[in-house]
Amino acid sequence: MISFDYISAADVESALRAASTPSSKFIAGGTTLIDLMKLDVERPTTVVDVTTLARRDASLAAVSELPGGGLRLGALAHMSDVAWDPRVRDRYPLVSQSLLLAASGQLRNMATMGGNILQRTRCSYFRDTATPCNKRDPGSGCSAIGGFNRTHAILGTSEHCIATHPSDLAVALAALDTTVQVRGTAPRSIPFADFHLLPGAHPEVETTLRPGELITSIDLPAVSFAKRSLYLKVRDRASYAFALAAAAVAVDLQGGAIRGARVALGGVGTKPWRSHEAEAVLVGKRATEATFRAAANAALAGARPHKDNAFKVELAKRTLVRALTEVSA
């Protein structure tokens, strides 16, 4: 790890000023950043501690009500606090489940909402500075394409990068049409669908967050049927592993018919993967296995597997079918 200048931010304004240099990074939970700094993948020369901001504004680390029935998740709220919050568990079960199925009890006590949706890929080539990686070292090439790519993405890939987005929470948030609130030169709201970027020719640019901008909250809108929702995660071991495939689903069921649906997939996309295609298949149909299978086929229609991860196509389909079956039961 290289040496860096540590700055503890007293307020949002000074945090933004301190982070205005190109090689600066905000730190909150630190669970991704410090990990990657130890690997020399991240090499900031200034680290701006934003955890201290909550002393001045406790709402930055809290779950609070929004007008109209939504919930605001403060950017500094810990994964564990949000996961166990009774309002989140009651109104947005998939959010609570996505958090509790992620990481470990210790990491959930450290990692924050803002940091969670900014976490970097677990692609082993991205984490290994001895190998080419377009995301870490733009223009150097992609080692995963043609390399060992069992855990890599099958949706949203490009010829420059096939790295999977690792967040579980972000998949649940993608299903809910959440909004990311940001402070920078001016406050702005970013629809969640616009927050993460596909790798395209520039996998090193992962979000539409501008340099020096700071996430202040993630806003969950009121979704009448979000109570009937589920996050289902399939992985190599029973707990404490990243997803091979995951499904975040919510359905509005009326007498066996689906009036509304939300579907997002995890573990298979280069970004949290909302599937409007699957939703279009579901809405207006009876909640049957045949309907769910058709929705899954639609969700994975654009899948482009590589040498080692073709199994993910069928795995993701079955994961989605099972999630829809369970949530409709």
Partner 1 sequence: MQPPNIGDIAPDFVLSTGRWLSDVRGAPVILAFHEPGWDPARADEIEGYRHLIQAGEEPQRVLVSNDEPAAALYGAARESAVFVLDGRGRIAWRHVAGIDPVESAAEIAALGLQTNGDGVRTAWSRRGFVATAIGAAVALTLEPTFGRAQTAAAQLPSGGTTTGAAVGDAVPVTLNVNGQTITLNLEPRVTLLDALREYAGLTGSKKGCDHGQCGACTVHIDRRRTLSCLTFAVMQQDKKITTIEGLAASAGATGDSLHPMQQAFIEHDGFQCGYCTSGQIMSATAMVGEPWGPGDDDVREAMSGNICRCGAYPGIVAAVQEVRRNGGGQGR
Q: Could you tell me if 307 and 208 are in contact, meaning their C-beta atoms sit under 8 angstroms apart?
A: no
Report the nearest approach of partner 1 to the CB of residue 66 (Å): 25
Nearer to partner 1, 17 or 285 (CB): 17
Pairing of strands 179-183, 24-27: unpaired
CB-count burial class (<10 Å; 0-12, 13-18, 19+) for 210: exposed
Q: Which amino acid is at 248?
A: A
Q: Kindly state the smallest distance separating residue 217's Cβ from partner 1, in Å.
A: 22
Crossing angle, helix 289-299 and helix 311-328, to 10 degrees?
A: 140
Of the two residues 38 and 188, which places its CB atom closer to partner 1 in the complex?
Answer: 38
Residue ranges that bind partner 1, judged by CB under 8 A: 1-11, 13-14, 17-18, 27, 29-31, 34-35, 37-38, 45, 47, 49, 51, 80, 84, 103-107, 109-110, 238-240
- Phi, psi angle pair for 117, to nearest 5°: -80, -10
Taking the complex as a whole, the smallest distance from the CB of residue 212 to partner 1 amounts, in Å, to 13
With respect to partner 1, which residue has the nearer C-beta, 195 or 231? 231
Within 10 Å of residue 175's Cβ, how many Cβ atoms? 32
Least distance to partner 1 from the beta carbon of 54, Å? 12
219: left (phi over 0), alpha (psi -120 to 50) or beta: beta
Distance CA 233, CA 98 (A): 8
For the CB of residue 213, give the shortest distance to partner 1 in the complex, in Å: 17
When the beta carbons of 111 and 299 are compared against partner 1, the nearer one is: 111
Question: Which tokens belong to 172?
Answer: 């649940």
Exposed, middle or buried, 99 (CB in 10 Å: 0-12/13-18/19+)?
buried
* Least distance (Å) between residue 290 CB and partner 1: 33
| Minimal distance, residue 100 CB to partner 1, in Å | 8
Let me know how many helices (H) and strands (E) the chain has, helices first. Answer: 13, 12
Angle (CA) 285-268-235 rounded to 5° is: 100
Is 221 in contact with 179 (CB distance < 8 Å)? Answer: yes
